[in-house]
Amino acid sequence: MHIQRIAEHVLEVRFANQPSEVVTRQIRALKDRLEAHSIEGFQECVPAYLTLTVFFTGSYHQMLDRVMALGRDLDVSALPSARTIEIPVCYAPEYGFDLVEVSRHTGLTPSEVIGLHSSGLYTVQMLGFMPGFPYLTGLDPRLQVPRRSSPRLKVPAGSVGLAGNQTGVYPLDLPGGWQIIGRTAVKLFDLQRDPPVLLSAGDHIQFIPVDQL
């Protein structure tokens, strides 16, 4: 575990150089510890693929000492089991705008693309880009495709996409360049819900093919 100061009141805790299930659980364990203790000056912490970013007020050295102390001997076995959330996805052409292009690029039939995508068990590594957008690992290498050369000005909320070695779901209507292969009716971000964000880092995701939304 390596800690560095990246702004006056921001610490970055780095756990490794490559993402893994163990690293995800270590990040989650430290996040839980920091949030469970009443630490003077602690504001929030944000998990990512390899790091946990800690925002605070007050003394840098005091916060550094607290983070180092809580980061020792992290017991990931004590963490509760990760949630597995099933997300129904319709891969029909009217929702999977780029399914044919993904098929062409990978050399797989559309049915094979759907089968591979829906058979994977994915891990939420982090949320970012927009509120509730999950970056998911676990994509079959055969489904790796580049981003679109021309991003769309509007990608509908619920769109399921591919980009490089990742898959993800757009929680809102926004511009984007991922290859869209389907859509879900599940709301990943909803201000009327508490909490508004459905997913958390460490969750497992299973996509379930459906015939209609």
What six digits make up the tokens of 137? 């690992």
CA-based nearest residue to 53, from 69, 38, 72, 34: 34
User: By the 8 A CB rule, do 48 and 73 touch?
Assistant: no
Question: Which residue segments constitute the domains of the chain, with CATH numbers given?
Answer: 2-78 (3.30.1360.40), 84-210 (2.40.100.10)
Q: Find the DSSP H helices in 10-164.
A: 21-36, 60-71, 99-106, 110-119
CA-based nearest residue to 182, from 206, 160, 205, 165: 160
pLDDT reading at 79 higher than 80: no
- List pLDDT tens digits, range 21-50: 889 889 989 999 999 998 999 999 999 989
- List pLDDT tens digits, range 123-182: 998 898 889 999 999 999 999 999 999 999 999 999 999 999 999 999 999 999 999 999
